[in-house]
Structure formats: C-alpha cells, structure tokens
Amino acid sequence: MAQDSGTRTLISHAQLSRGRGKVIYWTLLAVVVVGFTLVFLGPLYWMVTGALKSGQEIAQTPPSLFPKDPQPQNYVDAWNNLDLAKLLFNTFYYAAGAVLFQLVFDTAAAYSLSKLRPMFGNVILALMLGTLMIPAMVLIVPQYVTVIDLPILHINLLDSPFAIWLPLVANAFNIFLLKRFFDSIPEELMAAALMDGATSLRTLWSIILPLSRPILGVVSIFAVTAVWKDFLWPKLVMPSPETRTVSVGIYAFSGGTPMNVVIAASVIAAIPTVIIFLIFQRNIMSGLTSGSLKG
Amino acid sequence: MAITTVPGATRKPGRPTPPYAGPQRTSLGRKVRDNLTGHAFLIGAVLCFVVFSWYPMIRGIVMSFQRTRRGETTWVGWDNYSRIIADPSFWPAWQNTLYFTLLALVLGYAVPFFVAILLNEFRHAKGYLRILVYLPVMLPPASALFLFKFYAYDPSEAGLFNAILKALHLPTSQWMQSPEMTMPAMVVASTWMNMGGAVLIYLAALQNIPGELYEAAELDGAGIWRRIVNVTIPQTRLILALLAMLQIVATMQLFIEPLILANGAGTEDSATSVAYLIYQHGFFQNDLNGAAALGVIMLVVLAGFSAAYLRLSAKQD
C-alpha cells in the first residue's frame, strides 16, 4: 500500500487544497478523526477503566468517565479466580502449534501445487478451494463426530491439542495465499537449482522459503489470530477446565463471576492479540489486501 | 544429471509452464518420480482436508438420514428433517437469521464501503484511521461482546448507550431485553467487531482505480455522487460482489452474538439463530442427527442464495 499522495482519487487534490475545499477537507478530517477515536478506541477505554470501577460505581447514573476509586484488585481477582495464567498458556500453546503445523503442511502443499505440479494437482486445488464456500457451522456436527472417533484409527482427540491443530491445516485460504506467492517466484530459479542437483526439498528450503518470508509472516499471524479468536470449536473439543482456551474460559466463568471481573479478564485476554496487531499491523494489512482480487 | 531446458523464455504471463523439461525429454520413470515427490509434499495437507473437511461434508449428509440410539445406527429417511422443522424455534431461528443477514447487509456492507471511500480521500492521519478501524477485529469476540453486553447494552441508565441517549434527551432502550431491539443491537455489535477487514479490502481496491477515470468524469461535469456511482462502484464491482457473498455466508452463521449477548435464545426466541439451534440440538439435546439435518438445510439455503446470485450477476454482464 504505497502512500502515493500524487494519485488522483474521487476528489482532485487541487480542489482540496484551496479555498472552500480546504476548509471542508480539514473540518471533515477533524470530525472523522475525533469520531473514529470515540467509536473505535472509546469502547476500549471504557472497558479498561470500567474494569477498575467498583460494583457500586458501575451501577451509578450517569456513568463516570474516570474511575473515582480505582480497584486494581478486579484485575488481580480475574487473574487468580479464572486461572488466567493457565488459560493464556493453553491458548499460546495451541496458537504456536497451529503456526507450526500450518507452516509445514500448507507451505509444502502450496509449493507442490505451484512448482512441482503433480498429476491431479488442479483437481486437488479446486476441491480445497471449494471448502471456502462451505460455512463452518454446517460442518460442526460431523467434524465433532469425526474428532471424537477418528476414522480407521479410532482415536478420540477430545482435549488433545491435535483437535485444534489438524483441522486448521485444512485451510484453503492459506494455501491459496502461499500458492499465489510461490507462483510469482521465477521458474528460472527453480531450474537453476535443479541443474545444481538440488532435490525438491532442498529447493524449497534454500530458495523458495527465504524469498517467502513476508507471506510466511502473514500466514503465521493469521494462524495465531484464528486460534485466539475461535470460540465454538475449542469450546466443543476442549471440554475440561484444564485445556480451555482463554475466550472459552472467560465465557465459562461469566455466569457466576462479578461483571467487572469478567470485563477485567476480557481486557487481559485481548492484550496479546492487540499487541501482535500493533507490532505487525503493516504485515497484516498487506496480507489482507494481497489475498484479495484486483478490483 | 539430467539436462533440462529452461522454459522461462516462452512463458506466458500468468500461466507458468511446468518447471522441468517438456515431456519429450523426461523418461517415464522420471515422470513417476516427479509425481510421487509432488504428492509427497501434498499428502499432509490433503489428509487433513480429507479427515476434517471433505469426509465430514459427506458424513453430515449421511448422518442427517440416520438416527443413532444406544450405539445403534439406523436409516430413518426424512425423520430428522421433520423433527427439526417441527421444533417451535425452527421458524423464529430462520426469521432471525435472515433478518440479521438483511440488517448486516445494510449496515455491515454499505458502511465499510463508504468509510473506505472517505478514508481514501484523506491525505493525513491515514495510518492512524486504518489502525483504529481494524483494532476491534483483533479482539477475541468474547471480549468484545462482554463489553457490549455489560456496558453498552446495560438496560438501566448506567449503561453507556442509555447514558448517551439520555444526555441527548432521546428515549432510552431496554436493548437485549426488548425483542424488537435484540437484532439491531446484535448487528451494531457485530459490525463494530468485524468491519475493519472489509474496509481494508475496499481501500486496496479503491487504490487500483485509475485517476484518469475520475478526471474524465469531472470534466464531463459529474459531481461527487455521480462519480461514486459511475466510476467507483463499477470499478470495484468484482470486490463488492465477492464481499457481498462472503458476508452472507458469514452472517448466516450468526452464533456467538446471541450466545453471549442474549444468553442464546433471548426473550421469546428473539435472538435464536439457526447456528444456535444446531448447537442446541447437537450438544444439549443429544440430537446430533437433527443438528446434522439442520446443517444440511443451511447448506442448501446458502447454495440457493449462491445460485440465485450467480444468475443475477451473470445477467448483469
């Protein structure tokens, strides 16, 4: 996303930089900046400070803008009562495994589909992309039945991290993203490596992967956020309190826990993804837009 | 070492030729070996697709015609379908889901497009505004929804929305406790959480519109609105169409919003969604076969939508 301020958009640059246009432009910009800050950042402020309020202060009308008597104890309670350390560790563990599994299997598959192109490769790709059209909710019951009794092996994957890792490998969007990126790597590099006697694995490892760091980063970030944001699937396949993810854990406790403690826990649960986003926002945005078609 | 030709010189753009030599130079053994290597790289992902995607798809359809009781599975024809349709929540669930889909199309589809058009005009604070819009997308949905449930949609006057309405001397609302407000309130929360992705995709599409088109339109005397209708929308038509489809598929799966905001069904089934009903039957009423049948119904409805949509868009071309 180049910041090409020279490109002409809906309204010409000249019209915006003089006279009435300039006044309107700056007024509108100010309104939008203030409005968006209120709409998108405001609720987050409300959440972080709300969790610091006492039960009485929350029920007071009109609601107070700043907590009068901050109660950091709410955050401590959330951390201890919900065993957030354990929940966060679980979620991290599932996210790390998801990244690893997706990087290994989806990269290998995309490499094969893009560069090795075995027989029926296009059929397999079409079948994979077809799954993008099937809503997750339609598959949830048969998927669950499959996970509690894997075909042929007859293994029950409930409470096993593989129940989260393996279904995530079947991610057509990632394979599509990776394949598109690999397609753009010139065939000459592949041919040169082959002439030097490199095997397919060696070519992938020493030529393709080093060139693909940006897209591998994007896929990893998507894998982490997918695990962090998923709710129903981990709720179903991780039923014990010891194996829950953080979202499911908070939901499970929300019934019998004071509301400001639930909110404090929600704030803590949101911190990791928000930090990941702030650090990697450039990669995330480029990944989002590179996956889209050119209008 | 086998000698290979470099096919790069004759490569057609967009459709790369095979990396290795043409068939005239490869022996059969080599071809088999290359294919085996290719499939070896594919096998991990393909197995995961088979077990967790393709097979469940078929199994879901099979299950919807069976009934498993005490470990015994029998074929029951359309029984699961008639049972699920007879569920008193069946029609409210479809009504709610379609209503949500419609509201989400008005709000969650049009708003991001106009936000993207607006952001694309600004020459300042671009990065900041973009980060703001995308920030809620990064929150775990449960976190964001608890925020709405406890603070924004608090039905007393201590709630954020009611406090604002009161300050503006407007009537306050019971939000999730009033059956009429349940769906609009869920759409607002859902749009806030999810619109960032669509805005960024639209922004990327808008940046690909050639500036000359706007210039030409302006020279012809087209105002801002006419330029949007005659240049921006036709130029982004493909993305608009794609996102409309994706959005319908996503909103039809409405689940976590009713679960958290309305404790599932809401007052008088005002929040029950089809996805929630699948969850209820499958995991609370011990009726996995009925849930599978509802899943198949949902798939058929979505396929119907897609078919109608493809016909419509084919006619336009």
Q: What does the pLDDT look like over A162-219, one tens digit per residue?
A: 999 999 999 998 899 899 889 888 888 888 888 888 888 888 888 889 888 888 888 8
Q: Residue window 36-95, chain B: list those with CB within 8 Å of chain A.
A: 36-39, 41-42, 44-46, 48-49, 51-57, 59-60, 63
B54 plus B95 within the same structural domain = no
Same domain flag for B55 and B186: no
B74 class by beta-carbon count within 10 Å (0-12 exposed, 13-18 middle, 19+ buried):
exposed
pLDDT tens, position by position, A54-89: 877 777 777 777 888 888 888 988 898 888 999 999
Residue B251 structure tokens:
């909103």
Give the tokens for residue B304: 């119907």
What single DSSP character describes residue A83? T
pLDDT above 70 for B23? no
3-state secondary structure chain B: CCCCCCHHHHCECCECCCCCCCCCCCCHHHHHHHHHHHHHHHHHHHHHHHHHHHHHHHHHHHHCCEEEECCEEEECCCHHHHHHHHCCCHHHHHHHHHHHHHHHHHHHHHHHHHHHHHHHHCCCCHHHHHHHHHHHHHCCHHHHHHHHHHHHCCCCCCCHHHHHHHHCCCCCCCHHHCHHHHHHHHHHHHHHHHHHHHHHHHHHHHCCCCHHHHHHHHHCCCCHHHHHHHHHHHHCHHHHHHHHHHHHHHHCCCCHHHHHHCCCCCHHHCCCCHHHHHHHHHHCCCCHHHHHHHHHHHHHHHHHHHHHHHHHHHHHC
Q: How many CA atoms lie within 13 A of B252 on its CB side?
A: 24
Give the residue on A whose Cα is nearest the Cα of B157.
Answer: A61
Mean pLDDT of chain B: 83
Instruction: Return the C-alpha torsion angle A248, A251, A257, A261, nearest 10.
Output: 80
Interface of A with B in 60-89 (CB under 8 A): 60-63
Cα A186 to the center of its chain, rounded Å: 30
Q: What confidence score (pLDDT) does residue A109 get?
A: 95
Give the SS3 label for residue A119.
Answer: coil
A-chain residue closest to B250, CA distance: A135
pLDDT at B64: 94
Q: Which site among A9, A168, A237 would you substitute to test the B interface, given the most B Cβ atoms closer than 10 Å to its Cβ?
A: A9
Give the total number of structural domains in chain B: 2
Same domain, B129 and B250: yes
pLDDT band at B152 (very low <50, low <70, confident <90, very high): confident
Q: Average the pLDDT over B154-174 and give the result.
A: 78
Picking from A116, A137, A251, the nearest residue to B37 by CB comes out as: A116
CATH class of A77-290: mainly alpha
The reply to whether B105 and B212 lie within a common domain is yes
* Cβ-proximal residues to B151 (8 Å cutoff; 6+ apart), any chain: A43, A46, A47, A50, A263, B159, B160
Please state whether the predicted TM-score (pTM) of the whole model is above 0.80.
yes
- Chain A residue with CA closest to B229: the answer is A10
**B317 domain residue, yes or no:** no
Nearest CA in chain A to B148: A43
Q: What is the mean pLDDT of residues A18-37?
A: 87
- Residue B295 within any structural domain of the chain: no
**Which chain A residues are within 8 Å of B164, Cβ to Cβ?**
none
Q: Is the domain of B50 the same as that of B190? A: no
- Residues A5 and B126: beta-carbon distance below 8 Å: no
Q: Which amino acid is at A212?
A: S
Contact of A119 with chain B, judged by CB distance below 8 Å, is answered with yes
Chain B partners of A4 at a C-beta cutoff of 8 Å? 207
pLDDT of amino acid B100: 92
The answer to whether ipTM exceeds 0.95 is no
Amino acid at A62: P
Q: What is the largest CA-CA distance in chain B?
A: 84
Dump pLDDT digits (tens) for A116-161: 888 888 999 999 998 888 888 899 999 999 999 888 888 898 999 9
Is B53 in the same domain as B101? no
Identify the domain containing residue B54 by its residue range: 23-63
- The answer, for B310 touching chain A at a CB cutoff of 8 Å, is no
Helix A73-81 / helix A84-101 crossing angle, nearest 10 deg: 60
Enumerate residues 148 to 207 of chain B having a beta carbon within 8 A of any beta carbon in chain A: 150-152, 156-160, 163, 166-167, 192, 197, 200-201, 203-207
Q: Taking CB atoms and an 8 Å limit, are A112 and B41 in contact across chains?
A: yes
Q: Which residue has the higher pLDDT, A197 or B315?
A: A197
pLDDT given for residue A290 in this prediction:
62
Same domain? For B142 and B226 the reply is yes
The pLDDT value recorded for residue B209 is 85
Same domain, B56 and B95: no
Same structural domain, B245 and B122: yes
Residue numbers of A between 244 and 273 with CB closer than 8 Å to B: 246-248, 250-251, 254, 259, 262-263, 266-267, 269-270, 273
pLDDT on residue A294: 38
Contact A182, A114 (CB under 8 A): yes
B242: CATH = 1.10.3720.10
C-beta separation of B19 from B38 below 8 A: no
Least confident of A115-124, B11-20, B99-108, B255-264: B11-20
- Please report, rounded to a whole number, the percentage of residues in chain A having pLDDT higher than 90: 33
Interface test with B, best of A94, A138, A262 (most B CBs within 10 A): A138
**Domain segments of chain A as ranges:** 13-50, 77-290
Which residue(s) pair with B196 in the sheet? none
Examine residue B3 and state whether it is found in any structural domain, yes or no: no
Contact A232/B209, CB-based, under 8 Å? no
Residues B54 and B115 in one domain: no
Say yes or no: B182 and B36 in one domain: no
* pLDDT classification of B48: cutoffs 50, 70, 90: very high
User: B285 lies in a domain?
Assistant: no
Quick one: B142 and B212 in the same domain?
Answer: yes
Which of chain A's residues have a Cβ under 8 Å away from the Cβ of B34? Answer: 116, 118
Q: Does the beta-carbon distance from B156 to A61 stay under 8 Å?
A: yes
Residue B13 pLDDT more than 60?
no
pLDDT interval class at B50 (50, 70, 90)? very high
Chain A segment 192-231 residues within 8 A of B by beta carbon are: 194-195, 197, 200, 204, 225, 228-229, 231
Confidence label for B5 from pLDDT (cuts 50, 70 and 90): very low
pLDDT digits (tens, 9 = 90+) for B232-250: 888 888 888 888 888 888 8
